[in-house]
Chains A and B, each alone.
Chain A
Amino acid sequence: MVEGAAPTAKPGINDTATPRPACLQPSSHKPISKRPQAYLRAPHSHSSSRTGNEIRGSRARALPDRALVNCQYSSATFSTGERKRRPHGDRKSCEMGLQLRQTFEAAILTQLHPRSQIDIYVQVLQADGGTYAACVNAATLAVLDAGIPMRDFVCACSAGFVDGTALADLSHVEEAAGGPQLALALLPASGQIALLEMDARLHEDHLEQVLEAAARASRDVHTVLDRVVRQHVQEASVLLGD
């Protein structure tokens, strides 16, 4: 399979082009073992995610009326331009883990699995900006692959604001430039927001524009994920002989 052609000229941060569309190529990885997993590749960012389906949560933390969602975010030491010393356990990874947990607790129907634990492990293999969004998208596919009931897909995208224009899906260079960055996780069918986070200062008048750019990009991601999942289910049902 040919690696998707990396966009040759991503509009620079001083371009006043229209919001760049997200161009992702996710692919649901057929499980080679029985563990549900998914691999998502955006140009220059790769992350893989796996959900656990064994019963080994701690009894003390079990909740009586719903499932406990446990997320761990880990990024490989060679994933970023500068070598990272610790793959997980540092502050940023813990914070990402908590954000992912918050996102998925909003989407997974936890009431259907009381006294259980759902583990979601996300591993970033290569990072070029938008890691939170890639993680959420990969984890959505993994949770779907595991057969865990969810309200809807969770699709995420980052957005920023430069020179009067809202930009969707920021790359590492654009994030490092220091402008405002917004991370949005959306449940596309209902338009509900599972997680919204923003750094740096942004004038309130521009917020709607940026939010709209992120939401539009998330819906584009949803189209791609939906198509991939349907194709995978179709292939699986053909194999089963239905």
Chain B
Amino acid sequence: MASVALSEAEKVYIVHGVQEDLRVDGRGCEDYRCVEVETDVVSNTSGSARVKLGHTDILVGVKAEMGTPKLEKPNEGYLEFFVDCSASATPEFEGRGGDDLGTEIANTLYRIFNNKSSVDLESLCISPREHCWALYVDVLLLECGGNLFDAISIAVKAALFNTRIPRVRVLEDEEGSKDIELSDDPYDCIQLNVENVPCIVTLCKIGCRHVVDATLQEEACSLASLLVSVTSKGVATCMRKVGKGSLDPESIFEMLETGKRVGKVLHASLQSILHKEESLGPKRQKVGFLG
């Protein structure tokens, strides 16, 4: 993870501020920074999204490819995650430097999507045991400004919302061999239902209190964090403690409650933004990377 060098005085300043519910940039402990979400930024993909959370910049591209279903789940498609930490984010990610962080994030994403309710995988099946859609979700970290997991989960949800999978039909001829026919109309697509896709809320323990959406400086002051994956109904699906320090069981319960509360609000705003963007239709002005 990109690290920032802080002096003792700066750390004390941050910790004391958090005690009073006043962070360095004036936010409260449960406030997010301004999040910018834009979908459909890369045209080569089935769906894409870009999220800017303060200085953290994430680009997610989803590509839908035809594959064979996994043996233990013959009626379902599947999702594959890959996280690339670009060297542009921090020079530490040059060459293979970003592989560790990338693997950690990808494994977390696999875990939170590993339940039946997040994405309806049966809708990705074309013919059982033979053909299904495999969605390759590729995350690109363009800049690290703290709170990577939250930004990545928001971007993944937005990209899956934006994904358009072409409608296919399976034609069986006399010999019994199957042929897959793609619809002629390029706009005839199926859209995924992302209502139950969870978002990750990271809570960093600083002093006696915990904060949501920590910046790099605040992450440097915190010894332990809790990653909670929350659905739009406020149900926590997955939880993980990260960091070198230890957490009290009491604090874990408090942080879990905060995570659920904050997660619900986050989902509500994200859904409204995504629907608003979609309602603007194909004529909307795309900012892309020039804003």
Contact = CB atoms under 8 A, between A and B. Distances in A.
A77 B102 CA distance: 14
A48 to B, nearest CB: 6
Given A48-B289, A76-B61, A83-B63, A125 B42 contact: yes
A126 B43 contact: yes
A33 B57 CA distance: 11
B290 A123 contact: no
Chain B interface: which size bin?
Answer: 20 to 34
B186 interface: no
Interface stretch (A37-45, A151-159, A212-220): A37-45
B91 A1 contact: no
Contacts of B286: 1-3
A126 B61 CA distance: 10
Given A46-B289, A72-B94, A121 B59 contact: no
Interface in B76-106: 82, 84, 86-88, 91, 94-96
A29 B61 CA distance: 22
Interface in B152-198: none
A56 B91 contact: yes
Interface residues of A, number: 37
B106 to A, nearest CB: 12
Contact of A33 (B55, B96, B290): B55
Interface of A: 1-3, 27, 29, 32-33, 37, 39, 41, 44, 46, 48-50, 52, 54, 56, 72, 74, 76-81, 83, 87-89, 119, 121, 123, 125-128
24 contacts: A1-B285, A2-B285, A2-B286, A3-B288, A37-B88, A39-B289, A41-B289, A41-B290, A46-B42, A48-B289, A56-B91, A74-B87, A76-B42, A76-B84, A78-B48, A78-B61, A78-B138, A88-B87, A89-B95, A89-B96, A121-B88, A123-B88, A123-B142, A125-B42
Interface of B: 42-45, 48, 55, 59, 61-63, 65, 82, 84, 86-88, 91, 94-96, 136, 138, 140, 142-143, 145, 285-291
